[in-house]
Structure 1
């Protein structure tokens, strides 16, 4: 299994537990349904945010754009040879 699959499964299980398992553990009270809904929405949003962030780093749409002139200036300013 590659790193991508392991991370995807691990975080899906984690946020799945938060959004599906944890609402059943909330004690009875006047605001139980509100707390359950908050947990489910929070876990769904956090998982989706993590997924978008992770996929963006895994396969970026484009890399850094650096012209040869800018690279030459940076080489002079930083004093290093690449």
Structure 2
């Protein structure tokens, strides 16, 4: 299972709008540069966090722990064989 194109495109566009579009619309004032910096850092960090979580779901490091008895029942019901027969 690989990455789907639409979620990556959607969230990249969303956080790109926050990081590029919103700093352009900041009002003039003494803290304009600070607000722009905050918006760009927020967008970059949120996008990176989302990307790491999305990629971690594609190849999880920790899988479910199934007991041997349950595994034998699953193998028997799915294939008709037991673990000893395989």
Q: Scaled by the length of structure 1, what TM-score is found? A: 0.75
| Higher fraction of helix | 1
Number of aligned residue pairs: give it: 73
| 1:12 matched to 2:27 | no
Q: Indicate the residue corresponding to 1:37 in structure 2.
A: 37
Task: Give a deviation string over 1:43-71, Cα, whole Å, max 9, x none.
Answer: 000000000011111221342233316x4
Which consecutive unaligned segments of at least 5 residues does structure 2 have?
A: 72-86
* Deviation (angstroms), 1:4: 1.3
Q: Scaled by the length of structure 2, what TM-score is found? A: 0.72
Whole-angstrom CA distance in 1 between matches of 2:45 and 2:65: 32
